[in-house]
A and B are shown apart, each in its own frame.
Chain A
């Protein structure tokens, strides 16, 4: 399968985010490889079998040594779980990096712009019209980050 095809897949997926039906989320993980599995084509398997778009953020691979790969995976939540299990079966150590959005409320005007793009329903205006962040509902889709006119929302990794 060519690279091009993978690209098409990611395009489709961004449409999925739009429709908001099956919300895709992102997960960042550190993969530590023993020398024996350095050749495993991870990103290929992720894309082909789990419909996960992956983005390599950092790679430290030296021959005959353990390698380290920091990747961001974008896919449906259950697929992400399955994929991580599969990677572990290959003898690769997986450490998840918790990723969350944080609000610098000192600068927040409670305008509501971020609420308008939060299809997960994690952002609400309360009865006094103050912004409320219901973190358990947050899928870390990051739509609110560029939407805020005042740079209040940031990603914490």
Chain B
């Protein structure tokens, strides 16, 4: 049986589309098989609520009178970048000048909450832009556009971080207690859209995506995209692999799903909820959707050495990780996630309801995600002949 996106969208319009969340879908496939599933189910909703960096908020302001060309702007005391006379980019990871624990990600949350936000800027010395200084408060309603660009919106998989050294390490994977006392991982595993569609057969450039309550679009592959990652026999990469870039306007977003956070020794981070519906176009896609945590592997990495290539302790599955104890070097080690499964489950349900209520339709992608990209390294050219 084959289905097209258009047929599914027609079904949504006629209120006949059969939509399940990823958790529900796995139960049905297990019970009734993928043939039954393909015949009867149209869409499966997948989601993640993970820690993000690599994101920016694009802000487009109106003009002042007299005219201004922004220079050295600060938003709630966080430095922003000038992109044009009254356009700014705000990084999600930079901190405020007077509070390390408050930064761009928190401003994004505050903006969506509708709070007033402070803008202070100088003006460039141009003839037609005589305004040299400007100081004001704004909120989401005063902006021409506030667009969130997530250049690593979704990660197909991630690693498990542990620390065999003697001392604790505060890392991008949280606090890693020495002598392998704990470990952390960061993935929504069986709910993740890219785990359920491991070769991006249904997700491509232009696919619609649910971003924190707003609707956005997949732009293509994202930062650190590494499609050549080694895969297990269920087609799941055993470490970081495909990533997707996406953008969405903030005006429809809900603050619950966009959260500014702070990690000791890593700084400000953005947690954002992402949902992607996977159309059940054929049985092959249904089979990929049957994946469960027992068959999703990841790699345990030793963070005691801060180098690009780190020693590894081997692989484990997410079903082991979800028990809270994982064996590392034969030592039972406490393990816990950094990303919220509870929120991912909630997002799957919300997206399912939006589709049933005809608020969210599928879009046909205009181009596949590029799978022939090699992950590059950044090396020093010191000593190279020029």
Contacts and interface: CB of A to CB of B under 8 A. Distances in A.
A35 interface: no
Interface stretch (A26-34, A51-59, A81-89, A109-117): A109-117
Given A110-B342, A111-B340, A112-B337, A143 B175 contact: yes
A68 interface: no
Nearest to A19: B179
Interface stretch (B119-127, B222-230, B263-271): B263-271
A119 interface: yes
Contacts of B178: 18
A38 interface: no
B324 A115 contact: yes
A110 B345 CA distance: 12
A146 B177 contact: no
Contacts, number: 87
Q: Chain A binding site: helix, strand, loop or mixed by DSSP?
A: loop
Interface string B328-362: 00000011111111110100000000000000000
Nearest to B271: A109
Interface in B78-109: 101
A112 B340 contact: yes
Contacts of A20: 177, 181
Interface size class of A (residues with CB under 8 A): 20 to 34
B182 interface: yes
A151 B168 CA distance: 21
Interface string B170-188: 0000110111011110000
B261 A116 contact: no
Interface string A97-114: 000000000000111110
A79 interface: no
Contacts of A128: 342, 345
Nearest to A126: B342
Nearest to A131: B342
Contacts of B247: none
Nearest to B341: A129
A109 B49 contact: yes
Contacts of A42: none
A1 B175 CA distance: 35
21 contacts: A18-B167, A18-B179, A19-B181, A20-B181, A109-B271, A110-B341, A110-B343, A111-B338, A113-B263, A113-B336, A115-B324, A115-B337, A117-B174, A119-B177, A124-B324, A125-B336, A128-B345, A129-B341, A130-B342, A147-B264, A149-B269
